[in-house]
Structure 1
């Protein structure tokens, strides 16, 4: 029977192999693109849409391989294009922060209260009561926003 540490090492090795395979073939980006297309289209039959999407990708890949083979046989000087060009994912936007407040600023902070008429207050109260983000407020907090 294999020891737990050797089993863990085998599992880690297998996982690394899977990650390399997925990275080599650009599977993660293909799946992300597929999900984006699915969410944009929102078809009634998502499985059919996915099947057709992957069939289209396969035909495109076969066409690229065929043109690559033709160009290789005709002209050896032209560098072949990769069958699955890696599309760079857009980088996420970095965080935006405000100025840094000191403890002294926090203690001396004076809350600015803008007086509102009855009509405005009832409209605000109605909007707050329907919004899930304000559901945790008690009655006192709702009256004095």
Structure 2
């Protein structure tokens, strides 16, 4: 039941993101930005991108002000020009370690104590032999491998 509700929340969140991207024409803006970046090929791409988006923001503000002026001229009782609407506040999500993991905070991560299960020599050699041929463990160095061995519970 918990996975069903979390999947539903993720689907709703994804749909909300898609609506947002379509409403604000984000995909087209990013495509144009990348094309301009590839044409200009600047030495400092981040500076170019920042300036590009600042220019777009200024143009957007001008359009909003022009719309407000035309609206205020048609509405004679409304002489004040209000500033552009603020950007929507995005609610910060809590960090998760993985899809199936529970949510944990920064404090939990800092105060984490690794659990060590003692093993005898025979068990350690059996573990070493078992994972020596496993592709998933091939890239690990000795320190990482020992952490896994210390944590592994062996049924006897």
TM-score w.r.t. length of structure 1: 0.50
Bigger relative CO (Cα 8 Å, ≥ 6 apart): 1
> Is the radius of gyration larger for structure 1 or structure 2?
1
